[in-house]
Chain A
Amino acid sequence: MEKSKIKIDIKNCLACGGCISVCLQDAIYMISSKANLDDKKCIRCGICIKTCPIGAIQESK
Chain B
Amino acid sequence: MEYDAIVVGGGPAGSVTARFAAESGAKVIILERRSEIGIPVLCGEGISQRIDNWGMLEGKRWIASKMDGAKIFSPDGTMVTLSKEMAGNETGYVVYRDIFDQELARRAAKAGADIILNTEVTELIKKNGKITGIKAREFDEKFEINANIIAGADGVESKIGKWAGINTTLKTNDLETCAQYTLTNVDYNSDYCEFYIGKKISPGGYIWIFPKGENTFNVGIGVLASLSDSRLPLKLLNKFINDNPILKKGEPIRFLAGAVPVSKPIETVKDNLLLVGDAARHADPITGGGLTTSLEGGKIAGETIGKSVEKQSFDKETLSSYETRWKEAFGTKLIRDYIVKEIMLDFDDKTLNMLADSLKDYKFEEFSTLSLVKALVIKHPTLLMKLTPLLKLTDKSLKKA
Decide yes or no whether B261 CB sits under 8 A from chain A.
Answer: yes
Binding site for B on A (CB under 8 A): 14-18, 20-24, 26, 30-31, 33, 47, 49-55, 57-58
Contacts of A24 in B (CB 8 A): 169
Are A22 and B225 interface neighbours, CB within 8 A? yes
Q: Give 11 A-B pairs besides A22-B172, A26-B169, A49-B230 with Cβ atoms closer than 8 angstroms.
A: A15-B257, A18-B156, A20-B156, A21-B259, A22-B171, A30-B33, A33-B33, A51-B175, A54-B233, A55-B230, A57-B230
Within the complex, what minimum Cβ distance (angstroms) separates A13 from chain B?
8
| B 210-250 binary contact with A (CB < 8 Å = 1; else 0) | 00000000000001010011111110000000000000000
Least Cβ–Cβ distance between B195 and chain A, in angstroms: 18
Asked if A14 meets B228 with Cβ closer than 8 Å, knowing A51-B175, A51-B177, A53-B234, the reply is no
Q: Which residue from chain B places its CB closest to the CB of A25 in the assembled complex?
A: B169
What separation, in Å, do the CA atoms of A21 and B154 have in the docked complex? Answer: 11
Partner-A contacts on B (CB < 8 A):
33-34, 40, 42, 120, 155-159, 162, 168-172, 175, 177-179, 223, 225, 228-234, 256-259, 261
A50 touches B229 (CB 8 A): yes
The distance in angstroms between the C-alpha atoms of A17 and B177, with both chains bound, is: 10
**Closest residue of A by beta carbon distance from B179:** A53
Most buried by A among B34, B157, B159: B157
**Complex CA–CA separation, A49 to B258 (angstroms):** 15
User: In whole angstroms, what is the CA distance A22 to B258 when docked?
Assistant: 13
A34 CA / B34 CA spacing, docked (Å)? 12
The smallest C-beta distance from A45 to any residue of chain B, in angstroms, reads 11
